[in-house]
Amino acid sequence: MKNYPKPIRAFLALVPFTLLLSSCGRDFPSVQRLGKMTTTLEQTSSNMADDIYNSCITRTKYISFLVAQGSSGSFSLREQEERNCNDFNRPAVKNVKDANSVIAEYIKALGKLASGDTVSFDKNFNALGESLKKLQIPQSSGQSFSFNSSDVDAGISIAKFITNAFTREFRREKLKQAILCTDKDIQTYIKGVSTSSEKDSTSVNSATGGLIALTQQAYVNGILTAEEQEIRNYFTNYIGGLAPVAQTQALDFIKLEENYNKAMDSIRSRRDAAENYVELLQKIAEMHSKLKIEFQGKGEDKLSDAQLQNYCQDLYTAKADKAATKEKAITYDEEELKRIGNIVSKYAKSLEPLIQEMDQDL
């Protein structure tokens, strides 16, 4: 079964980004290979988001019909749970896909800037903000997972940058500014925690919100765990019922055991895919943070937080003064390109096997 969330296509957007930074914009045959992988990533992430609904429906199929004598049966319970899946889990799928698309579209925009191409973006960031606010994923505890306000604000800021990159036709000179000015939002949106120092920026192992929490808490510990528990209950009842007659009905017993193993294998595969997805998000956050540190400079040349705030103002406005924009035009020397290229290449190599494993698990 293929099921789950979406910034997976984000990795492929690194393609032109990697090429520019490591080779000053020359084209390479690897573009086609990585471009082909983008389709796989997009489909895999979409499948993962779909599983928020599909897993719920699968769980209802394991609500046992074995009931105590005199009971009205479990048909009504199954029917109620199916309604809950349709009323709550189905709408959540679109919101999760929207949430994951933010990172994917952002990395894709960086790739466009790096190669000097025009950024494209077909989403309205106001509508996207509403989708992030409405994101609710039901949990077995009776509560729902949702983004907190800082996660939503970070997502909207990232989308606003992408929108301006499209409408204002940002080009290569904006790449440095983009990474410097969006890093705080990127870290918050992925991990759910704002970064105020270099140490914080590279520490991604303890997410409190954002896309990582959505995956770990809402999907793995919530959706998948609920399905797993229902499967275990179902087979415990039926296998327990057949145990006394296992010798005379051996084929039925073996078939039931095979079905159980198959169901649990599906859970494990999707959980493995989710873990790889989390690691992928962590690496994207790490890479972005290191690029930001590199671009911010060192020693006397390092941009202070106050300078950064002033430096970033025009990036988020719908229109900017052309003279001011021209003054801020950025050029990249070969040494800087080499250092940045090394960072991107390192992470690109580590992301590729994660994507391949996710595709196999889903």
For residue range 280-310, what is the model confidence (pLDDT) as tens digits?
Answer: 889 889 989 998 888 888 777 788 777 777 7
pLDDT of residue 67: 56
Q: What's the confidence (pLDDT) of residue 200?
A: 45
The pLDDT assigned to 313 comes to 76
The CA distance from 264 to 167, in Å, is 48
DSSP state of 87: I
Count the neighbouring beta carbons within 10 Å of the beta carbon of residue 210: 26
Give Cβ neighbours of residue 269 (< 8 Å, ≥ 6 apart).
Answer: 361, 362
Place of tokens 């809402």: 218
Predicted TM-score (pTM) of this structure: 0.81
The answer to which of 22-26, 41-45, 95-99 has the lowest mean pLDDT is 22-26
Q: What is the pLDDT of residues 58-93, one digit of tens each?
A: 999 998 766 554 444 577 888 999 999 999 999 999
For range 257-275, the mean pLDDT:
94
Beta bridge partners of 4: 48
Query: How far is the C-alpha of 173 from the C-alpha of 121, rounded, in Å?
Result: 19
End-to-end distance of the chain based on CA atoms, in angstroms?
A: 6
Question: Could you tell me if 355 and 41 are in contact, meaning their C-beta atoms sit under 8 angstroms apart?
Answer: yes
pLDDT tens readout for residues 216-249: 999 999 999 999 999 998 888 777 666 666 666 7
* Euclidean distance between CA atoms 314 and 81, whole angstroms: 50
pLDDT grade for 205, boundaries at 50, 70 and 90: very low
Residue 295 has a pLDDT of: 84
Cα–Cα dist 343/324, whole Å: 30
Local confidence band at 152 (pLDDT 50, 70, 90 cut-offs): very high
Q: Give the amino acid at 36.
A: K
